[in-house]
Amino acid sequence: MEDLKGKLYVVGIGPGSADHISPAALRAIEEADLVVGYRTYMLLVRKLIKGKDKVQTGMTEEIDRARMAVDEASKGRTVAVISSGDAGVYGMGTLMFEVLKERGWKRGDSPDIQIIPGMTSMNACASLVGAPLGHDSCMISLSDLLTPWEVIEKRLEAAASSDFVIGLYNPASGRRQRQIVRAQQILLKYRSPETPVALVRSAYRHRQHILKTNLEDMLDYEIGMLTTVLIGSTQTYMYEGYMITPRGYHHKYDLEKGTVMEGQTPGRQLNTDLIH
């Protein structure tokens, strides 16, 4: 019965341009006879999926779509479930495992599941504004549709107070406007109003829009469902229009001369007596 074993690919297609989808993702989509995903994402890969069976659904039918994909793959088909960015980052990845688990699926059962990584928005958006992720960072989704708002606030506080660069996913939508206002208030408790902020909408898509601002003024601009908000740490600075978070080389090396600073040793813990 081995030949009846189906295959379930969970595919991240990257931010939306053909240049930023991986060859592995392309192969998985190519191999699939059924492709499942949101309408918008199907449109992004429409050339690849011509002639294949497709199930396109809207945003709110995720569970049905995951169930259906599992059903079809269990029967022996090759199914690709596509998500934008990385499928495991606020995407369909976990839901696929939850549906399998609910059905008592075990490793070795049909279908085989394989996750194909994609470039998440945090990376895609960062690349459009410079090198803001040069030091520790985290992602926080401001969507309280499935997560209690208190939990989100707690994470905002923790990330803000421990000086992470932060990428805010799902920052706002037509109905959800209050969350980003509250996020700004929390961040301003710990960071200067001049902290660099980038608002990147539809990265690597047709309507791409990049806006560089700061923590104080960020709400003067449109922030919506297709925006990722990148917030600098206390170390992040702007140079020639680029947003940069240093890794810390300047603590140890003289970057102009390329020499090690007095009292520091390469390959050893930073001597903090010498930095302020």
When asked if residue 236 is in the footprint of ligand SAH (CB under 6 A), the reply is no
Per-residue binding letters, 6-45, with ligand SAH (x by CB under 6 A)? ---------xx-----------------------------
Among 4, 145, 225, 274, binds ligand SAH (CB under 6 A): 225
DSSP state of 82: E
If phi over 0 gives left and psi between -120 and 50 gives alpha, with beta otherwise, what is residue 263? left
CA distance 208 to 235: 27
> Which region among 96-104, 186-194, 220-228, 242-250 touches ligand SAH (by CB under 6 A)?
220-228
| Concatenated DSSP letters of 31-65 | H-SEEEEEHHHHHHTTTTTTTSEEEEE-GGGHHHH
Strand residues in the chain grouped as ranges (E): 7-12, 34-38, 53-57, 78-83, 112-116, 130-131, 137-141, 165-169, 196-201, 209-214, 227-231, 237-239, 242-244, 253-254, 259-260
- Contact range with ligand SAH by CB under 6 A, out of 107-115, 225-233, 243-251, 255-263: 225-233
Neighbour count for residue 160 (Cβ, 10 Å):
20
* Closer of 221 and 249 to ligand SAH (Cβ): 221
Q: Is 179 in the site for ligand SAH (CB under 6 A)?
A: no
DSSP state of 264: -
Give which of 112, 118, 126 is closest to 198, Cα–Cα: 126
Of the residues 155, 205, 209, 212, which one makes contact with ligand SAH according to CB under 6 A: 205
Report in angstroms how near the CB of residue 270 gets to ligand SAH at its nearest: 33
- Closer CB to ligand SAH, 141 or 195, in the complex: 141
Out of 90, 111, 179, 187, name the contact with ligand SAH by CB under 6 A.
90
Specify the residue, 149 or 249, whose C-beta has the smaller distance to ligand SAH.
Answer: 149
Running DSSP on this structure, what letter comes out for residue 14?
B
Among 166, 200, 218, 230, contact with ligand SAH (rule: CB under 6 A): 200
Residue selected from 120, 184, 195, 233 as contacting ligand SAH according to rule CB under 6 A: 120
79 binds ligand SAH (CB under 6 A): no
What is the C-alpha to C-alpha distance for residues 11 and 87, in angstroms, rounded to an integer? 6
Q: Residues interacting with ligand SAH, by CB under 6 A?
A: 15-16, 83-86, 89-91, 120-121, 125, 169-170, 200-203, 205, 225-228
